[in-house]
Amino acid sequence: MARVSILGGGTWGIALAVLLCNNGHEVTVWSAVEKEIQMLREEREHKMLPGVKLPDSMKFTMDDEEAIKGQSILVMAVASSFTRRTADRISSLVAPGQIIVNVAKGIEEATMMTLSQIIEEEIPQADVAVLSGPSHAEEVGRGLPTTVVVGAKSRETAEYIQNVFMSPVFRVYTSPDILGIELGGSLKNVVALAAGIADGLGYGDNAKAALITRGITEISRLGTVMGGRAETFSGLTGIGDLIVTCASMHSRNRRAGILIGQGKTYQQAMDEVQQVVEGVYSAKAAMKLAEKYQVQLPIITQVNKVLFEGKNPAEAVKELMLRDKKSEVSVASWS
């Protein structure tokens, strides 16, 4: 049995907490938000995960020391915009070699750092890993079959986390490609906004398929230049996560995109979704990375223009369709 603390009381953290409790581990949920902890403790349910009952064994706390000290694994499940603040807050309490598993997705706009890089900068003594894949909280919380990947610097750490999280309904693969895993998980949210915008405009399955396939091309193009492995982007945390985020109504990024396609601003869309829309925060960072590494990202570029420059979504699609003619496979040659 492992002692695991979930840092963050959002839907993803709570879904993982339920999974880990069902796996027989001792689970504590920490949040800095008093109303959140009170709701979870008293109602034994998260209001955004109706019907998912929290096990009696699950503990809740706002006390930093209780959540950090002596725990086998710390699961960083706060929204990406709060990752640095939370890491800084707990840094002095984390023991050398203590495992922190980041399960949030995003890129910090100011520094262009992934979330695990932020955690390592703020808590250099920690053993930082990531867990990601096509895994909506609504389904994990209900025990529906899900498959993810854990990335870590050492095989030993990856396999330990794999053993803690693995269950008959939650299959976990391992990988050394932490960077590729995080880039896939972050950039797919921006493409999912584009997929939602297309839905909001009333476009069909053809457009959705094109956005998914060309979107993974953009993600892979940037990710491999930055040092991620090509096979990561064709796997669960690349194309797998992209498909589910572009196609599912569980996806807050797709739902926000639909509203934007219907004429709302990104702020109005986020207010209506009532959850953090990570793609909005990752979009600007993606453009900065594209400039730094001199990589073309046509879809992500148009998403930025729609979000932050007031560009008409239909005009953005038209511009994508009328770009210069190209071959799909750049390395192919005519016989």
59 is catalytic: no
Query: Per-residue pLDDT tens for 216-234?
Result: 999 999 999 999 999 999 9
Residue span of the structural domain in which 131 resides: 3-176
Cα–Cα distance measured from residue 111 to residue 300, given in angstroms and rounded to the nearest whole number? 19
pLDDT at position 315 over 70: yes
Same domain, 213 and 121: no
DSSP category for residue 287: H
Under the banding of pLDDT at 50, 70 and 90, the label for residue 332 is: low
**Domain final residue, candidates 145, 176, 207:** 176
Look at the chain and report how many structural domains it folds into: 2
Same domain, 172 and 189: no
**Domain final residue, candidates 146, 176, 206:** 176
Q: What sign does the CA torsion over 263, 11, 173, 225 have?
A: positive
Same domain, 152 and 195: no
Contact 43, 37 (CB under 8 A): no
Q: Which residues, 6 or more positions from 45, have their beta carbon under 8 angstroms from its beta carbon?
A: 51, 52, 53, 54
Q: Residue 222: inside a domain, yes or no?
A: yes
Under the banding of pLDDT at 50, 70 and 90, the label for residue 52 is: very high
Q: How far is CA 8 from the centre of its chain?
A: 14
Same domain, 225 and 311: yes
Q: Residue 335: inside a domain, yes or no?
A: no
Same domain, 159 and 228: no
Q: How many CB atoms lie within 10 A of CB 88?
A: 14
* Percent over 70 (pLDDT), the chain: 99
Same domain, 26 and 77: yes
Same domain, 187 and 51: no
Same domain, 150 and 95: yes
Q: Residue 214: inside a domain, yes or no?
A: yes
Same domain, 188 and 311: yes
* Percent over 90 (pLDDT), the chain: 87
DSSP category for residue 274: T
Q: Residue 139: inside a domain, yes or no?
A: yes
Q: Residue 330: inside a domain, yes or no?
A: no
Under the banding of pLDDT at 50, 70 and 90, the label for residue 331 is: low
Pairing assessment for the beta strands 3-7 and 73-76 based on DSSP bridges: parallel
Cα–Cα distance measured from residue 71 to residue 94, given in angstroms and rounded to the nearest whole number? 9
- Mean pLDDT of all residues in the chain? 94
Query: What's 317's domain CATH number?
Result: 1.10.1040.10
Closest CA to 298 of 281, 278, 270, 318: 318
pLDDT at position 292 over 90: yes
Determine the average pLDDT of the residues in 166-178: 98
Q: Residue 17: inside a domain, yes or no?
A: yes
Q: Residue 308: inside a domain, yes or no?
A: yes
Q: Which of 47, 153, 188, 264 is catalytic?
A: 188
Determine the average pLDDT of the residues in 251-272: 92
Greater pLDDT, 274 or 73: 73
Same domain, 244 and 292: yes
Q: What sign does the CA torsion over 51, 254, 174, 286 have?
A: negative
Cα–Cα distance measured from residue 214 to residue 110, given in angstroms and rounded to the nearest whole number? 27
Same domain, 130 and 247: no
**Domain final residue, candidates 176, 202, 233:** 176
Q: Residue 277: inside a domain, yes or no?
A: yes
Can you give the pLDDT at residue 187?
Answer: 96
Cα–Cα distance measured from residue 60 to residue 38, given in angstroms and rounded to the nearest whole number? 9
Query: Per-residue pLDDT tens for 280-291?
Result: 889 999 999 999
Can you give the pLDDT at residue 317?
Answer: 86
Same domain, 184 and 152: no
